[in-house]
Amino acid sequence: MVGGLVAAHHGHFDALLFAVVTLGIVMAHSAADFIDDYFDFRNGHLGNKEKQFHDSPLLDGRLTARQVLVAALLCLAVAAATGVYAYAAVGTPVLYLVAAGAFVVLFYTAPPVRLNYRGFGETSLFFAFGPMITFGVYYVLVRQPAWEPVLVGVPLGIFTMNIGLVSNTFDHDDDVKSGKRTLALRLGQAGAVRLLAVLSAIAYGVLVLAVLAGAMTPWSLLALLGAPLAVDTVRRTARFADIAHYTAAMTSAIALSSLTGVLLGLGYAFSTLTGGAVR
């Protein structure tokens, strides 16, 4: 949504192409979730998922591992079809965007790369759910590279990355057993909480500096309204010693990521409607 609105802000929007690309991203995300659960289940590394608010149906036998794998392949097929459509419409650069996204989708948990086991899980979330999507959607619609969609994607990527960081902070002990080298394991749980606070400050810092530099619309400062949620996420995650606080911390982190996207989108919509579009 945000990438599309930034493109519209610059006078470029193809509703059909936007819808197809959005469908592809949603299907790729769904495939990534299925693949993540499939390999964690096969390896016996589902961590605290039986205690979480988004428990896996693999745990109580509602689904089999084979069914989850089939679902992943179906989602990948739809995502690939949308990629073919975008390639036909835009050209070769789409292949690079699709390849980058596919790498994260396929190898976040899956062997032999297993990004989440090698300390690159949170970083992958930053790129995949931040600059890669906003820049990718913008490029497909505008067909020219620009820094603005990358900068817009930074707070979105950080706050999505923070969801993984919160989860891994509470999953610390299980990740030690499973051999996942997450940031929470490398830094320790207290260190992960400090990083959470620093990253949140960086997200808002990039936003403010980009606006002051004229690289983003001033309306994007609406995203600062989410700051209380950022503080709440850090405060709740700091209670990592009690797993009972997991749900509240994750709910706050997810709400912040979603709200930031909505507010940034509204900012660009308002800017365009009030005559701020650059054509």
Give Rg (Cα) of the chain.
19
Cβ neighbours around 91 below 10 Å, total = 11
Closest to 39 in 3D by CA, of 68, 74, 78: 68
Question: How far apart, in whole angstroms, are the C-alpha atoms of residue 276 and residue 181?
Answer: 45
Q: Read off the pLDDT of residues 124-180 as tens digits, 9 standing for 90 and up.
A: 999 999 999 999 999 999 999 999 999 999 999 999 999 999 999 998 888 787 778
pLDDT in tens, 28-57: 999 998 998 888 888 776 555 555 545 667
Least confident of 48-57, 181-190, 240-249, 253-262: 48-57
pTM assigned to the model:
0.89
Mean pLDDT in residue range 251-268:
96
Among the residues of 213-245, which ranges form H helices?
A: 227-237
Looking at residue 203, the DSSP 8-state letter turns out to be H
Q: Which amino acid is at 124?
A: S
Mean pLDDT across the chain: 90
